[in-house]
Amino acid sequence: MNRKGLAVIAAAVGAGLLSSAAIAQEITNKDKQSVIGNVNIAPVTQDKLNTADKSTKDFLLTNGNYAQTRFYPGKQISRDNVKNLRVAWIFQTDVKESLETSPIVVDGVMYVTTSFSHVYALDAKTGKQLWHYAHKMGPITVYCCGPNNRGVQVLNDRVYLATLDSKLMALNAKTGEVVWSTNIADPELGYSETMAPTVVNDKVLIGTNGGEYGIRGFMRAYDAKTGKLVWNFDTTPENSVGVWATKDATGRDMHRDIQAEKDMLAKIGDPYAKLGGGVWQNPAVDLATKRIYFVVGNPSPDLDGSSRPGDNLYTDSLVALDLDTGKYVCHFQYIAHDVWDLDAVSPPVLLNVKGKDGKVIPGVIHAGKTGHIYVHDRKDCSLIRFSEAMVPQENMWTLPTKDGARMLPGANGGVEWSPIATDPAQELAYAINLHQPMTYHVQSSPYPNGKLWLGGAFKVIPGEQQSGNITAVNYNTGKIKWQVKTPEPMIGGILATAGGLVFTGEGNGKFAAYNSSNGKELWSFHAGAGVNAPPSSYMIGKKQYIVVGAGGNTQLDYKRGNNIIAFTLD
Amino acid sequence: MLGKLMTCAAVVLMLASAARAETIEEKAQVCAGCHGADGKPIDKTIPVLWGQTAGYIYMQLRDFKSAARKSEIMEPLVSEFQRDDMLALAEYFSQKPWPDLGQPRAPKDVAAKALAASASIGCPACHLDRFQGDGTVPRLAGQGRDYLAKTIDDFRTRARANNPGMSDLMQAASPEDLTALADYLAGL
């Protein structure tokens, strides 16, 4: 994932001084939980979660369902009437900082999170606050790319949250009270949490941030009832060397000096212990085979490969594990020995896809920071095809230099952590992209114990035009079906609906609906702060709602706000 | 400046013997000798601690103790500190109000230059909106101008070696832009 975020837009900065008192409201010295209204939800059973993809009433998982399709099956809001979409309510959180939350909706109750690991339960019909959990943050937080939180999940009567100071927590879904809390890892070593947990079969699945900090990444399962560790999978195995791959997933030469790496390996041994490999986003769960599929981020340090010889497995990879045991099933590495931080962050999606022979098979797709959408065989993780590039690519793979080497995409992508959406009937995947020309600078230094360890710097090239786009890709052909250019790089997420629409937002505050077949803009709204979070949809009674967070983004320095905005038809 | 620093060093030496066994408040008295009893440092090259983020203060104390960050004054002062002492001191200072040093707001052209540089190397990605800092990342807004300039320079030359990532970023920007950045941040 990308660290320090090489921002482009500094418009929000300098608008005035935020008082220390304002900050104090966001980070509390003790857990604070306030209950205002009643939460009357039926327990969220595993059966209900298993069929989340068919529910128009609820939006139960971060990306809609265990396959992470971000396809909402309701169609009340359609191409014909979306022009009549109006604000139903706006909820203002207490935290005006980067907002990446994926709202989930359970039985008319919405759960959203904010930066600094706050959780709110809201009445999904009115936006009225029901309860608020303000996490007692430990004094030491070490994180890259903003104090974000991307959401929670509910199983039975508990809400599961992972916090910036690297704790996993279960809260009472009706009151926000802490049921249990478990330390995941030591923040002082560079660990933090911003992802939403995925809860399945009484296991809470969680990865870790820290790929910019010399950590050893992992995916873990904790017992949903007790918070005890069930299994751990290290994303950097003790033999991380791999096959000395010289080409990336698309066949391009990565200009590795294999002999120099082998010499270094002989000298220092396998570098797995501080090799990074963060997992930033939710795993997809294949309920039939009881496997999970997730992507692993960059090796540490990002730009300097000299101290980490080998392919740096399983960084920059799609990985599949057995859900029950955490045992390795298969992997596919996109970039071996990455020195550009063009890693794998956007959550993978399980779909049926056409194999190489044209037969439909269970597949898994991932949108990379390289700007390609990769299509895999779910059986063995092998690559079936990759899409046309969604963003300009130049000078790949030019190695970073001390004075800076220009290469596109810039280190934020392509597709950053933003989840993609899909529409299986149209065989389309929808991705939001960044185009940020950058120079890549390398500089060797040892890990500075809990401080950013990039091995150099990424620098946005002043004066070069930046932009973004929304791209629809046919995942069975790899061809781009349509593309809408946006004035600024895009980060946040996207939702597709059975109403023939996709919804997504921009850093300038625009939130819009597009015809999912041709990209034609059909409706838009200006939120006043960056819309850099994934939208969700749900129904209350006979009314469909669209909801999205508008709070800007730290990584790209988009204008901050504190709004959760729900829309419905007049 | 030298005179003030020597005074500061003398105060520290005088109180150093007391730095070993007393309460956090008493330990903080030693700090006040240089960092200011009212939160305003006695010299412009000494940083503001009042209202600084607790995680950042802790990490610096930790690094002075290990000598990852060099300082003839700070290293001996913290040599006896345990982790809990450092965390408690960090918490103590973080709860104090940030002092107003009365530094002038940067002119528009300087601010524009500073913000362009900040955007290019991505300062707000860690120091957050309006440079308020959080956790182990320091607040920069309103910090002493001369301390900011010295710190930037020390990162550029790697004289300050406990955060090589900052050195890399400072080296990716021009000295002129960084001077503007120090002026801008001090005036926030």
The ipTM (two decimal places) reads: 0.88
B72 & B34 share domain: yes
- Tell whether B115 and B173 lie within a shared domain: yes
**CB burial string A166-195: b at 16+ within 10 A, e below:** bbbbbbbbbbbebbbbbebbebbbbbbbbb
pLDDT given at position A1 = 56
DSSP string, chain B: -HHHHHHHHHHHHHHHGGGTTS-HHHHHHHHHHHH-TTSS-SSTTSPP-TT--HHHHHHHHHHHHHTSS--TTHHHHHTT--HHHHHHHHHHHHTSPPP---PPPPPHHHHHHHHHHHHHHTTHHHH-GGG--BTTBPP-TT--HHHHHHHHHHHHHTSS-S-HHHHHHHHTS-HHHHHHHHHHHHT-
pLDDT digits (tens, 9 = 90+) for B8-52: 655 555 555 444 547 888 889 999 999 999 999 999 999 999 999
**Residue A398 neighbours by CB distance under 10 Å:** 15
CATH of the domain at B55: 1.10.760.10
Is B120 found in the same domain as B79? no
B99 occurs within a structural domain: no
Count of residues in chain A: 570
Do B80 and B121 lie in one domain? The reply is no
The residue annotated as part of the active site, out of A165, A286, A311, A341, is A341
Chain B residues closer than 8 Å to A147 by CB: 128, 134-135
B59 within a domain of the structure (yes/no): yes
Q: Does B184 touch chain A (CB under 8 A)?
A: yes
* Residue B102 placed within a domain: no
**Domain annotation covers residue B179:** yes
B85 and B160 assigned to the same domain: no
According to DSSP, residue A20 is labeled H
**Judgement on whether residues B15 and B50 belong to the same structural domain of the protein:** yes
Nearest residue on chain A to B56, judged by CA atoms?
Answer: A140
Q: Same domain for B141 and B171?
A: yes
B185 interfaces chain A, CB cutoff of 8 Å: no
Among B43, B64, B94, the domain-final residue is B94
Q: Of B67, B94, B121, which marks where a domain is finished? A: B94
Residue B15 included in any domain: yes
Whether the Cβ atoms of residue A68 and residue A287 lie closer than 8 Å to each other: no
User: CB A446: neighbour CB atoms within 10 A?
Assistant: 12
Residue A341 bears catalytic tag = yes
* Mean pLDDT per 10-residue segment, chain A (570 residues): 38 32 50 82 96 98 98 98 98 97 98 98 98 95 95 98 98 97 97 98 98 97 98 98 98 98 98 98 98 98 97 98 98 98 98 98 98 98 98 97 96 97 98 97 94 92 95 98 98 98 98 98 98 98 98 96 96
* B131 shares a domain with B157: yes
Which residues constitute the domain of residue B63? 8-94
DSSP assigned state of A354: E
Q: pLDDT for B60-94, tens place per residue?
A: 999 999 999 999 999 999 999 999 999 999 999 99
Question: Does B23 reside within a domain?
Answer: yes
Helix (H/G/I), strand (E/B), else coil: A496: strand
Q: Note if the pTM is more than 0.90.
A: yes
Residue B77 is assigned to a structural domain of this protein: yes
Number of structural domains in chain B: 2
B81 with B116, same domain: the answer is no
In a domain, B100, yes or no: no
Peptide bond just before A414 cis, omega within 30 deg: yes
DSSP string, A425-470: GGTEEEEEEEE--EEEEE------SSS---SEEEEE-TTS--EEEE
Same domain, B31 and B86: yes
Contact B125 A141 (CB under 8 A): no
The reply to whether B18 and B46 lie within a common domain is: yes
Interface of B with A in 31-90 (CB under 8 A): 51, 54-55, 58-59, 63, 68, 87, 90
pLDDT tens by residue, A195-217 = 999 999 999 999 999 999 999 99
- Predicted local confidence at residue B18, as pLDDT: 42
Whole-angstrom distance, CA of residue B119 vs CA of residue A519:
31
Tokens of B100: 């107003």
Contacts of A167 in chain B (CB under 8 A): none
Q: Nearest chain A Cα to B133, which residue?
A: A23
B149 and B172 inside one domain: yes
Among B94, B124, B152, identify where a domain stops. Answer: B94
* Contact status of B104 with chain A (Cβ, < 8 Å): no
Per residue in B134-169, pLDDT tens?
999 999 999 999 999 999 999 999 999 999 999 999
**Chain A contact present for B128, CB below 8 A:** yes
Given the DSSP bridges, would you call strands A383-386 and A428-435 parallel, antiparallel or unpaired? unpaired
Reading the block at residue B50, the tokens are 């009042």
